[in-house]
Structure 1
Amino acid sequence: MTEFVSTQVQGGVAYLTLTRPQALNALSLEMIRAITGALQNWENDPAVHAVVVAGAGGKAFCAGGDIRWFYQAHQANDPLLDQFFVEEYALNHLIHRYAKPYIALMDGVVMGGGMGISQGARLRIVTERTKMAMPETNIGLFPDVGGGWFLARTQGHIGEYLGLTGAVIGAADAIYAKLADAYLPTNAIAEMVASLQARQFTSGEAVLEQIASFTRQHADACVPSTSQLASNAALMCVSTRFDGCASTVIDGRLRHRPSPMLRAVGQR
């Protein structure tokens, strides 16, 4: 593997960890290639029945693509910039169609490219530290990495709202919006992983059931939420699509964009 991607196979489960915490596990082209290669190898390995993906450092699962590198590559007319997106989107497609259970531990920041490597998971687990967003509109980009697919499958018009505003949501709202499947407190993750590593699995379904036994224990926990999407007032706002407060929020965000194009859109 690379400096920023570590892998391990134990008891029939493959573990892939992004190990670039100083950059909130932002994805480089090298990391994308390492993840793709590992997943392809495991998909064809009869000894691997499921894959668990996580981020190191305690602050982020993955904050997205490496924006600083994007800028530097653009300034240098580096052809690898286009290649980054080609290979990133191919990785997203691989995950969505993966033949074995792919489990994403979405602890901490999960944004942009981080959504791309988690939304295709068979099981998407959030924690009290989850901060989820598709903030591409902040830099004048559309919600990519499959955003047009998974945002369209959210509750009501929440996907449109998140895609246009780049708003950040927490665990409760991620589950409500169908962008996550289960909640697990951060302090229970290590115990859950240890329980997986203590067993020898012979099927992916058995791995999912073992994880479900942990998430069920916390099903009645008070899932923290720092956003307001789950409140009645916010849902009324979002449900009106582009009327009233929803259009005011979207217009306000567009007006404050650094991009002249987006400022022009906001002034219409």
Structure 2
Amino acid sequence: MFKNKKILLIGAGNMGQSLIRGWLKHGYKNILAIDPNLEVKKTLSNLEISFHEDIEHFHFDVDVIVIAVKPQVLDEVLHQISMQDLSKTAILSIVAGKKIKVYQEALGDVSIVRSMPNTPSSIGNGMTALCASSQTSEEQVLLSQSLFESVGKVAWVDESMMDIVTAISGSGPAYVFYFIECLISSAVKAGMKEDLARELAIMTVYGSANYALESEKNLQELRERVTSPGGTTEAALEVLTNGDFKDCIDLAINQAKKRSEELN
């Protein structure tokens, strides 16, 4: 339905490149990218896309513009595209911490879709939250969803939820990586070789996440199935519980949410 839509990506950094590869894999054919970095051009040279280095003299005859630049250059990008006719174009932003109103103030009453993807999108296992302005048509909503389903799962939320989304799924991979690091460190301290500890820790988290996704049981039931009375798991969980593990997680999430609110 959307494979022939013309997509313009402004900013082809890590996330932008992940999106391009996901789109190509899922059959999108009309992809244009703009990025001033010549190294990026070299990286993308073997892909079937059109590449431009300069936004200033580019004519935006496209169905959707995906903005994937650093927040500090967003104002200049919005200034450049504001000179174009965007009445039939959806603006899809992955710029962290920038609300829909920022785009409306610069571009007027056009279709704006704000997104919060995460880094597992680079391997097609991302989680992206989306919210849209009232000017966004049903077709533009479906197009935006399709573009991000190329790199993982998608959830639509109210914009008021985007700060907590950022704290949970946007920043979440870092928490998981840190937990894995801690498991590896503990195993090494106990005498295990690091490569084996790494494999055990990563596969345990990977397998547990997939088990949780596929199981009809809730997380508490899954946890209790592993936790035999008087056993090793119960001993470890008692330490986590007595050490206020849950409170520590709550505090971390609240701090991330607060920081996201400040960046807005």
Normalising by the residue count of structure 2, what TM-score does the alignment of the two structures yield? 0.29
RCO higher in structure (CA 8 A, sep ≥6): 1
Larger radius of gyration: 2
TM-score (norm 1): 0.29
Normalized per residue, the structure richer in helix is: 2
